[in-house]
Structure 1
Amino acid sequence: MMKTNTLSFNTQALRKKVLNLAMRGKLVPQDLNDEPASVSLGRIKSERAALVKERKLKRSKNLPKITGDKEPFSIPDSWKWTYLNDVANITKLAGFEYTKYIRPNLTNKGIPLFKAKNIQPGVIIEDFENYIPEDISDSLIRSQLNKKCLLTPYVGSIGKVAIFSGKYKAHLGSNVGKIEMIKVENRGVSEEFIMYYLQSSYGFEQLTKHLKSTAQPSISITALRETIVPFPPLEEQKRIVAKISRLFDQIDKIELASRQYTELQSSLRSKVLEVAIHGKLVRQDSTDEPAGVLLDKIKSEKDELIKEKKIKKSKPLPEITDDEKLFDIPDSWEWVRLGDIGVWAAGATPSRKHPEYYGGNIPWLKTGDLTDGVVNTTSEKITELGVKNSSVKLNKPGNVLIAMYGATIGKLGIVGDKEIVTNQACCGCNLFDGVYNWYLFYYLLASRRRLIKLGSGGAQPNISKKKIENFVFPVPPLEEQKRIVNKIEKVFSSL
């Protein structure tokens, strides 16, 4: 039941695979005509030394040579290992600078201030909360962003990195590191290459190897500077970046096609369900026992169960008004309320103060366990003692389940081959003979928007057991219910 075809690709895994191949030199071929990486690194090293001498960069401590067991993985012979600090100027805004100079001048217009949340993987989010007045901006030299660079949070969302274009003025906020490549005659490490490396599994591992597990995960600027990076020849970097970009474009198209396919599937399923509950998906059969006769049998069954004290006698449900009949149904069908066709019961939560109530062998369902399908497993189980000392209700195989409130409101399930109990946010229905559980399931699925709307208005959406029992339900003859479900499943399996 409820099986559908899907156009599903793990595009995130595809991107990771592309990046990991790229960073091992296996995405594009090497070219012997490229300037050797060692020559480019030597030129950048000389430029860094000159900038230090001119006091445009601070002198940094000498780091150990990257050899042997310190090499994170194998790279082509024409590549070199280096530290990020050797090819870039890496800075941050000191805490006292933010407190003393930035925070007192925050406003809602002017020059934007970058925070960690403005940096997502490969993307700058230009939805800024704070700005610096233009007349003050020029004096805040240390925090200025005025040329192309990489930005990455070093507190909280570690591993997110994106390129700031430098095409407009901005300021560096707290908890954001700036990685500015050292260029010689506009030649140096590709910002895009370093961004892709840090997004790869290998780069992320290097970036976070000195991760501090505090209230928020963090890395120091020193750790960022000491991140080990592979250095291909500059021309090969360009080829790698171009190839990644082309492949990512193709993956983006796959994602778009997958989303469109999913949306089309959803739309078609909704249409099939709408047609089904209107009695237009399958033909009526004059030899079927009419729903009116079926309902009389259900009433007799209910009366007998009450007489035998197997269920409690309930207050009669109100007559269904013409306004409640939302659409026309075939003559052989009847409108009823959900409380007329089964016994509905909400569950409960055994006291958490008693650990002996939990960890047993009785499946205890929370609404997060509902997946609009058959329920065979639950995330928690309780003991016989937990059942005895709470008001949980037993749901037999085949019972229909519905989430009554919260974020999962309207989610559905059908109990599988084992009896289960539920928490108080879930309502289960033990149907009387004559109503097919899968037909009720699909009707509730088709009616989800109405159910959610019915539960709105309070602090927490809640459709309640009473509202469910009063919800109107068009009942076809039993044999037609089965034909409808078979047709739905057949159509769904072809989508």
Structure 2
Amino acid sequence: MPIPPINEQKRIIEKFKSLDFVIQQYEKSYRELNNLKQELFPKLRKSILQEAIQGKLVSQIADEGTAQELLEQIRQEKLQLVKEGKLKKSALTDSVIYKGDDNKYYERINAQTVEIELPFEYPNNWSVLRLKDICQLIDGEKRNGKGICLDAKYLRGKSSATIVEKGKFVYAGDNIILVDGENSGEVFTVLQDGYMGSTFKQLWLSSAMWKPYILAFILFYKEDLRNSKRGAAIPHLNKELFYNLPIGIPPYQEQQRIAERINELSQLLK
């Protein structure tokens, strides 16, 4: 052990004390900064998504037309899928949401029209639908044969793959949503073919829509869906809330620009 003169020992201790105070202050500031990041970044992401689904994240371009032309495409697509048995007939019960001359929103289902409250005002070239009109929870393709089980832990990278003999098959690129458990409402895009875990449903998304836009909309409501779960022992996704969420529909090209801008801003937040 090196031994300095006694006076130098005292000076060393005094210097250590002064530096220790600075280190403690730095540590405190570091913790506060981390806490701020943990609180601020999720709020920023939420704000970005809110601007997106309100039509405020990108400008509207007149040459892109309106969303009205998409509505017939969506209806025809669902009609064909019902005929093929891939969607239930209930998927054809569309509501018509429109803004009246009094600037209030109304919804017409069959022959009945009622005034409704919407969470946002939307651009004039947008249409408004219920989420069920462009998104349905389906079972997936029943199949036999060995395949990877795509459960939540595996999809999050927290467990290795397990092999099952049969189940509800989905393909790489399909979207699946947790409908059971604490994280109900969380959406995954699967990266490989396999069988859905038992807590999942497959998401049918209309091909008339730009899928990343719909997924961004669902992500905005992730906390609402998680906090509105039903059931005590095993909480389930509130499907009624999910299906009835009002979604603003921009023209197709605007949907693409919105999704691209969300991605750009998300990269900056990383």
TM-score of the pair, normalised by structure 1 = 0.43
Q: Is 1:276–2:52 an aligned residue pair?
A: yes
Q: Is 1:338–2:113 an aligned residue pair?
A: no
| Alignment partners' CA distance in 1, 2:159 and 2:124 | 44
CA 1:313–1:257 in structure 2 vs 1: closer, same or farther (change >3 Å)?
Answer: closer
Computed over aligned residues only, the root mean square deviation of the Cα atoms, in angstroms, reads 3.5
Q: Is 1:290–2:83 an aligned residue pair?
A: no
| Alignment partners' CA distance in 2, 1:471 and 1:284 | 23
Deviations 1:169-226 (Å, cap 9, x if unpaired)? Answer: xxxxxxxxxxxxxxxxxxxxxxxxxxxxxxxxxxxxxxxxxxxxxxxxxxxxxxxxxx
Match of 1:441 among 215, 218, 240: 215
The answer on whether the counterparts of 1:399 and 1:414 sit within 8 Å (CA) in structure 2 is: yes
Deviations 1:296-323 (Å, cap 9, x if unpaired)? Answer: 112212222333x251432244636443
Q: Percent identity?
A: 23
Match of 1:454 among 200, 225, 228: 228
Indicate the SS of the match to 1:429.
Answer: strand
The answer on whether the counterparts of 1:284 and 1:480 sit within 8 Å (CA) in structure 2 is: yes
In structure 1, the partner of 2:151 is 365
Deviations 1:229-287 (Å, cap 9, x if unpaired)? Answer: xxxx9998897787556434423322211221342322222212111111111112222
| Alignment partners' CA distance in 2, 1:283 and 1:242 | 55
| Alignment partners' CA distance in 2, 1:478 and 1:486 | 13
The answer on whether the counterparts of 1:346 and 1:465 sit within 8 Å (CA) in structure 2 is: no
The answer on whether the counterparts of 1:363 and 1:380 sit within 8 Å (CA) in structure 2 is: no
Deviations 1:359-412 (Å, cap 9, x if unpaired)? Answer: x6524122x5566xxxxx573534351x2xx4x3x3333333333343223333
Match of 2:163 among 383, 407, 419: 383
In structure 1, the partner of 2:27 is 251
In structure 2, the partner of 1:486 is 260
* Structure 1: gaps spanning 5 or more residues: 1-24, 36-232, 348-356, 372-376
Which contiguous aligned blocks of 4+ residues in structure 1 show a shift greater than 4 angstroms? 233-246, 368-371, 456-460, 464-467
| Alignment partners' CA distance in 2, 1:261 and 1:33 | 47
The answer on whether the counterparts of 2:149 and 2:164 sit within 8 Å (CA) in structure 1 is: no
Equivalent runs, 1:137-156 vs 2, <5 Å: none
Indicate the SS of the match to 1:332.
Answer: coil
Indicate the SS of the match to 2:28.
Answer: helix
CA 1:381–1:251 in structure 2 vs 1: closer, same or farther (change >3 Å)?
Answer: same
The answer on whether the counterparts of 1:395 and 1:421 sit within 8 Å (CA) in structure 2 is: yes
In structure 1, the partner of 2:86 is 311
Indicate the SS of the match to 2:64.
Answer: coil
| Alignment partners' CA distance in 1, 2:15 and 2:86 | 74
* Structure 2: gaps spanning 5 or more residues: 98-106, 108-114
Q: Is 1:33–2:5 an aligned residue pair?
A: yes
Indicate the SS of the match to 1:296.
Answer: helix
| Alignment partners' CA distance in 2, 1:259 and 1:481 | 34
The higher radius of gyration belongs to 1
| Alignment partners' CA distance in 2, 1:338 and 1:288 | 23
| Alignment partners' CA distance in 1, 2:229 and 2:117 | 17
Indicate the SS of the match to 1:271.
Answer: helix
Equivalent runs, 1:144-183 vs 2, <5 Å: none
Equivalent AA in structure 2 for residue 345 of structure 1: I
CA 1:346–1:257 in structure 2 vs 1: closer, same or farther (change >3 Å)?
Answer: farther
The structure, 1 or 2, with the larger RCO (C-alpha pairs under 8 Å, 6+ apart) is 2
Match of 1:473 among 231, 247, 259: 247
In structure 1, the partner of 2:237 is 463
In structure 2, the partner of 1:56 is none
Q: Is 1:412–2:187 an aligned residue pair?
A: yes
| Alignment partners' CA distance in 1, 2:22 and 2:253 | 55
Indicate the SS of the match to 1:311.
Answer: coil
Residue-pair matches, total: 246
CA 1:486–1:311 in structure 2 vs 1: closer, same or farther (change >3 Å)?
Answer: same
Indicate the SS of the match to 1:381.
Answer: coil
Equivalent runs, 1:95-244 vs 2, <5 Å: none
Indicate the SS of the match to 2:80.
Answer: helix
In structure 1, the partner of 2:104 is none
| Alignment partners' CA distance in 2, 1:242 and 1:346 | 65
Equivalent AA in structure 2 for residue 379 of structure 1: S
CA 1:339–1:425 in structure 2 vs 1: closer, same or farther (change >3 Å)?
Answer: same
Report the CA distance between 1:332 and its aligned residue: 2.2
TM-score of the pair, normalised by structure 2 = 0.73
